[in-house]
Structure 1
């Protein structure tokens, strides 16, 4: 019986010592310059000095502590914008609603590489990457296609993921495929795009004549050559769905 009591007392002593040690390692926000301190264990929790006493606060679901008057909301920010979670864990579990894994955050689309979701208090807004970019879930941002793995390629580049594709009847513009996604390019001045060799070359080609040269600058009365009409900007290739 005495042995059991001794074991219980020893366990209580160890527990009390651990609690005191944990309490000692937690910074006192009332001693901090900004009257605020990060929690020693959880990166989505912090302490603030209110009327001379330390009070505990949790960040909005999906955000982590960033510092006083810093971050996105209530002194908290997206986890990937800092290193506040290194060596720590989260105190709160995800609150998932629809495409939002957490109440606040940026999340990949379930069926598209060019779309993603921004979530604010569980309200999801669909966003689109532009200019041939794809959503990178590791960076939580739009990125160059070659940096994004596992996404489908654009139909324009199905034959050659890194080749050139003619742009309709245009003589000086074309699509350059990079990593399977097209980017609009223009041939240097005096060159035209050859639809056979799929590169910019000296005119004439089978489809394109040389553009008329401008009149000499020192002879303003010289007759102008045939009018060279600038082509309209082509529409962007149909987006992936």
Structure 2
């Protein structure tokens, strides 16, 4: 009886000390639990002993996440009253070491940075959309609420612009990314992303663009481009080698 009483008193004393010092009390013997004030801090409990941990800079702790790693992007986590965060450890391009961030030039709304451990990758939105940092994705301009965005130039240096009329396939359905032959260069062609933003692309050496079949093809299959590579020594040598191998067979 005396031993039991002493154990209870000792546990009460330890609890009182932890509460007074601000130490975290594990609600269960094992598991990960959020800090009551800081959204990117959590505690890992083992045998009822709490170990303080931080999410990677830029990520937040989500107690509802069923994964072992419960740190996630801010737009996926409801922090509630846990409004405090660790000090930023970012750089020029990444305000924090991890996350999706708007382009540092506020007028550039169609590009954003994907930061992983302080290393960034510039990512373009689908043409016509703007990046919304609060949602972590690209949305329609009116949904992003961003102002002062510069207009994206939809004309290439050679003057090509995507036709306003939608291109239809054999079934009469609008083509999402229509292609067009280059007017002077048989090897090149244009792609209109979402029908509005032009990109100049090219076929592999030895091939030309077949507008009828919407693909790169052999020159002899495209009227007007049969002799496109006739003065190209590299292509001619490759063709001669192929012909020799075929004759040997």
Query: TM-score under structure 1 normalisation?
Result: 0.52
Residue number in structure 1 paired with 2:58 = 62
Q: How far 1:38 moved relative to its partner?
A: 0.9
User: For residues 167 and 127 of structure 1, do their structure 2 counterparts lie closer, same or farther at Cα, with a shift above 3 Å needed?
Assistant: closer
- For residue 89 of structure 1, report the CA deviation from its aligned partner: 2.3
Q: 1:120 aligns with which of 113, 116, 133?
A: 116
Do structure 1's residue 105 and structure 2's residue 99 form an aligned pair? yes
Q: Distance in 1 between matches of 2:97 and 2:130?
A: 23
Deviation at 1:22, TM superposition (A): 8.4
Number of matched residues?
A: 155
Q: How many Å apart are 1:104 and its aligned residue?
A: 0.6
Q: Report if the CA contact (8 A) 1:59-1:74 is conserved.
A: no
Q: Describe the superposition over 1:47-90 as per-residue Cα deviations: whole angstroms up to 9, x where unpaired.
A: 1112441111111111111138657x94201111121x211222
Q: Of residues 132, 136, 143 in structure 2, which corresponds to 1:136?
A: 132
Give me the whole-angstrom Cα distance separating, in 2, the residues matched to 1:156 and 1:91. Answer: 41
Alignment partner of 2:104: what SS? coil
Q: Which runs of 5+ in 1 are unaligned?
A: 1-16, 158-165, 175-183, 191-230
1:68-107 equivalence runs, <5 A = 70=66, 74-83=69-78, 85-107=79-101
Give the Cα–Cα distance (whole angstroms) in 2 for the partners of residues 116 and 69 of structure 1.
26
Could you list the runs of 5+ residues in structure 2 that have no partner in the other structure?
Answer: 1-15, 156-160, 173-177, 181-189, 200-249
| Equivalent runs, 1:4-43 vs 2, <5 Å | 20=19, 28-31=26-29, 35-43=31-39
Residue 79 and residue 27 in structure 1: after superposition, are their counterparts in 2 closer, same or farther (change >3 A)? farther
In the TM superposition, 1:144-223 aligns within 5 A as: 144-148=140-144, 149-150=146-147, 151-154=149-152, 168=163, 174=165, 184=166
Query: CA deviation digits over 1:109-151, x for unaligned, max 9?
Result: 1232211100011001111112432212232211123323312
Normalising by structure 2, we get a TM-score of 0.51
User: What is the CA distance between 1:155 and its match in structure 2?
Assistant: 5.0
Alpha-carbon distance, 1:18 to partner: 11
Give the superposition deviation at 1:20: 3.0
CA contact (8 A) 1:47 1:55 kept: yes
How big is the shift at 1:185?
Answer: 6.9
